[in-house]
Amino acid sequence: MGIQGLLLEIADTYDAQAGTKAEVAGQQVLRAVAGRSDLGLPSTHFAKGYGGQAIAAATPWIGVFDRQINRVPGRGLYLAYIFSADLRTVSLTLQQGITHLEDRLGRGQARQQHLRRQAARLRRALATQRRAGWIDELELRHHADRPRAYEAASVIARSYVLAALPEEASLQSDLRYAMDQLTRADSADQLWWFQDGDSPLDVGYVPDGHLLGEEDPLAGFQPKDSSDCIANITARQQVKKRHHEALIERFGHHVVSRGYIPTTKLTHPKDLVLHRDGAVQPTDDEWLVEAKVVRGGNPTEAVRQAVGQLHEYSHFLYHERNRPEPHLIGLFTEDIGVYAGYLERQGISSIWQSGDGWDGSARAARWGMVG
């Protein structure tokens, strides 16, 4: 039957109103996908159908997983054939996992914005290999959060009208292309992308497992390795210095001596959050820190990036989730001059490295973080 036959069978039998019971025909087809051997998949890949659990999915789909990259859809990268809610189209898409973000970002706009940012970054790694006919986001024609999250999570997609579905050979060719792009995207995803860099790609890291006791003020502070790293990127080695992570690490250790607890663990996409030592209530003040590297002695671009990200995170990660909005801090590698006053007017304090110590704006000094 192959991929073409499977896709047409799902389109013919699936009914979201019929529920998810064992006797529902469309659900039976989806559940049987994992045991099929006629889909032309290489031994390194496997497929699985998804039609919902207690409630039938508005947009049923088939996941295609590379065993060496990812085996579950909740996080990481994988391929998927996702049907539109009206069952008129199906799209082969390179997807990011969405469910692991719910605890930190919820299920609404904040998660979608994060997924789109990450998709845009990954697309850069695939740009030179992009084929005609492939788009960024699929269209699922449903208002629910999950279909919208699938749309936002799409790195690239190829959409087909089911009434004019291509022949099997064409579908297999597209799938092989998508498998290659999944491998490329995963390689890029293993690298640490940060907005301070001149290169669109930077190097990832492996945490060193540094975990201290719960009473230690640095227990939740796990900055990324700031040493030089070597990454293999398109068959050549590039050495990247992580000034960004070194800045966070030095400042984190500094504020401990000023009575604050720094946290980087499970705070993504935030660079760093601070609490006063001894603060335990959810209503206690929180400081949101965005770190930026000043390049060439010109702080303009670093300040602009800090303003945008701090206000964006404050809105989506605090205001939209009915959390007390944080104090905002721009952290810089060097003196930002007249921009310190500008940031104060924007409700953002600033702190920067000054020799072996730290200097900053008036509000940062009142908090006891500098001076």
Question: pLDDT for 207-235, tens place per residue?
Answer: 333 333 334 455 556 565 544 444 444 43
Average per-residue pLDDT for the chain: 85
Question: Can you give the pLDDT at residue 37?
Answer: 94
Question: Which CATH number applies to 242-366?
Answer: 3.40.1350
57-63: average pLDDT:
97
Give the H or E element holding residue 64: strand 56-66
Question: In percent, how much of the chain has pLDDT > 70?
Answer: 84
Distance CA 57, CA 50 (A): 8
Q: Does residue 196 register a pLDDT over 70?
A: no
Q: Does residue 193 register a pLDDT over 70?
A: no
Question: Can you give the pLDDT at residue 206?
Answer: 31
Residues in the chain: 371
239 confidence band (pLDDT: 50, 70, 90):
very low
Each domain of the chain, given as residue ranges in start order, spans 2-189, 242-366
Question: Can you give the pLDDT at residue 222?
Answer: 56
Question: Can you give the pLDDT at residue 182?
Answer: 94
131-139: average pLDDT:
93
Question: Can you give the pLDDT at residue 255?
Answer: 93
100 confidence band (pLDDT: 50, 70, 90):
confident
Name which residue leads in pLDDT, 46 or 209.
Answer: 46
Q: Does residue 358 register a pLDDT over 90?
A: yes
Question: In percent, how much of the chain has pLDDT > 90?
Answer: 65
2-189 with 242-366: one CATH topology? Answer: no
Q: Collect contacts of 27-32 with beta carbons under 8 A, ≥24 apart.
A: 27/51, 27/56, 30/60, 30/62
SS3 content of the chain, % helix, strand, coil (to 5): 35, 25, 40
Fold of 2-189: Metal Transport, Frataxin; Chain A (3.30.920)
Distance CA 203, CA 227 (A): 11
Q: How many CB atoms lie within 10 A of CB 72?
A: 13
